[in-house]
Amino acid sequence: MRHCIATVCLSGPLEDKLAAAAGAGFGGVEIFEPDLIGSPLSPAAVAARARELGLEIALYQPFRDFEAVPEERLRRNLRRAEAKFEVMHELDVSTMLVCSSVDPEAVDDDALASEQLARLADAAERHGFRIAYEALAWGRHVNEYDHAWRIVQAADHPALGLCLDSFHVLSRRTSLSTIDAIDAEKLFFLQLADAPRLGMDVLQWSRHYRCFPGQGVFPLADFTRRVLDRGYSGPLSLEVFNDVFRQADPDRMATDARRSLLVLEEEIDGLRSSMPPAARLLGYAFVELGVGPASAADTQGQLHALGFAQVAAHRSKPVALWQQNDVRLLLNAGAAPGAGIAAIAVESADPGACARRAQALLAPVLDRSRGPGEADLAAVGAPDGTSVFFCTTASRWPSDTWLSDFEPVLATGGVKPTGIRGIDHIALAQPFDAFDEAALFYRSVLGLSPLDSVELAAPAGLVRSRAVVNDTGEVRLVLNVPLLGDSAGEQLRLQHIALSCEDIFATARAMQARGLRPLAVPANYYDDLEARHALDPSLSASLRELDLLLERTDCGDFLHLYTATIDGRVFFEVVQRPPGYTGYGAANAPVRMAAQRAAAPDRPLAATNGRRE
């Protein structure tokens, strides 16, 4: 299928939007009229630039408030249309989108609407053009696509057809069955947009919260498949109004947009798709932490207290391997800007297939320096700057694994494990303009399934959080972003690694014996917990003693604790997850964020747990 994108989806001047669309591999664009009006380029110059970039101008839009109006108003509208037809000649575009009217003068008269649209189609046909009529979800009288189809049928004009827009159809939950009755030759254009499910005015929902396919909740695969099965042969075109996207880098957004169509095509075609399938993921091979001069000692101290020991060093890079059981963390002294999660590596049944899929989905392949004989690990860049590696740790031939790049260090004495058994999840802070992009990236490239977004109340502002997981729960990522851009400050850009254990009480005591100081939880939290759950006194005492947090669920108690934050950037969590529980203790997140804020170096000391810290 040909891929198009409306210029309204992207930020910047029109010439930048065209360049971004071409750079992402789109074959065409819809010219959004305000973009043309605001451009210093003439329509002919825009057409020439599009041709230079290999772009077809597939649609000129929108032409508003035309039909079902008094005769004098109609004559003015036809004069306006003639002026736009001249623009279309210069743009070298043959189809114009006409939205159903929201004009207060428009009347509820389908016969009049059909007759007037036929007159517009007559004028368009004389120029060699077509009119694609679209039912706006907030149209004054026509706001359902099946209603628009009846009007187009009644007009019975060869130059008049339908534009089907997924947002206008799916936001109103209109039955899709009428699509099966639309004549194929009347399906002039198809526009696609996804959206989160929101309870708000449909106009505001449309103007501010649309997103690319796969980033919302609409059944776009079913909708698009129905249109294609009916015989539509035009392009798949994106029309997305989104406040965040229109502030973001247009090249990044165009790439994200194209990726969304590739994933949509895969969902539609199923086994017929040429997209390399997502390989099965088996967990995390390692997580790499950047450490700088200011964070190295704190990071090493926390790992020691958590029960990790340095077991190896990289042969050619300033990277140390710390391990407990099969949990491996890399400390990279050469990573900039210092403390933070620099890379994650997933265990894959077929790393090569993962890499091929990532490249097919336009993920940037990262250049890596490696010494002679070192493992050639495929790595791609995620939207937040995190490197994602695909690898296999266990191998018939030890020299084939990434572990062969490391040399054992001399033992400095036995380090007794504290009970850490695995990586439960990794939480990654996202740039404000990359949240939806990241969810689609991890969903498409790694084959993870997104869960519903939740909003958390932090001391410095609201945080939006969304988890993406594989089908076995062995790979879990939690993506976090401040709801209002940078207003919430640095605290909301924290990252953390959650480590799993089987007995958190024993693990917490072992860690404290090794010198771990957990994040101090306020006494008020435990008072409230006891009031809500009538806790056993011995359990309550242990929770207070160890600074443990609890979320009581139908699956059992989810228990967790947090470490102090390293260099204001990264911290660890230790969790005991009951079987069947798929959450992350979201109810406790505001308490954790308040405690972190209170513990920050630039904050006054606070009394917690009845003691002065």
Span 51-88, pLDDT tens digits: 999 999 999 999 999 999 999 999 999 999 999 999 99
Dihedral in degrees, nearest 10, Cα atoms 462, 467, 468, 469: 170
Asked whether the predicted pLDDT for residue 476 surpasses 60, the reply is yes
pLDDT at residue number 612: 30
Span 85-108, pLDDT tens digits: 999 999 999 999 999 999 999 999
Task: Please give the DSSP secondary-structure letter assigned to residue 215.
Answer: S
pLDDT tier for residue 209 given thresholds of 50, 70 and 90: confident
The SS3 of residue 406 is strand
More confident residue, 409 or 500: 500
Six-digit token pair at 106?
A: 């428009």
Asked whether the predicted pLDDT for residue 272 surpasses 70, the reply is no
pLDDT at residue number 207: 85
- Would you call 601 exposed, middle or buried from its count of C-beta atoms within 10 A (0-12, 13-18, 19+)? exposed
Please state, rounded to an integer, the average pLDDT across all residues of the chain: 91
Asked whether the predicted pLDDT for residue 28 surpasses 80, the reply is yes
Span 153-205, pLDDT tens digits: 999 999 999 999 999 999 999 999 999 999 999 999 999 999 988 887 898 88
Asked whether the predicted pLDDT for residue 606 surpasses 50, the reply is no
The mean pLDDT value for 496-513 works out to 97
Span 328-364, pLDDT tens digits: 999 998 766 566 899 999 999 889 899 999 999 999 9
Span 16-26, pLDDT tens digits: 999 999 999 99
Which residues have a Cβ under 8 Å from the Cβ of 585 and sit 6 or more positions away?
A: 549, 551, 558, 560, 575
Asked whether the predicted pLDDT for residue 489 surpasses 60, the reply is no
The SS3 of residue 445 is helix
**Radius of gyration, alpha carbons of the chain:** 28
% of the chain residues with pLDDT over 70: 93
The mean pLDDT value for 316-338 works out to 88
pLDDT at residue number 482: 82
Domains and CATH numbers, the chain: 3-270 (3.20.20.150), 281-612 (3.10.180.10)
pLDDT tier for residue 506 given thresholds of 50, 70 and 90: very high
pLDDT at residue number 608: 34
Indicate the range of 198-207, 255-264, 268-277 predicted with least confidence.
268-277
Task: List the beta strands (DSSP E) in 135-186.
Answer: 160-165
What's the CA gap between 162 and 180, in Å, rounded?
A: 14
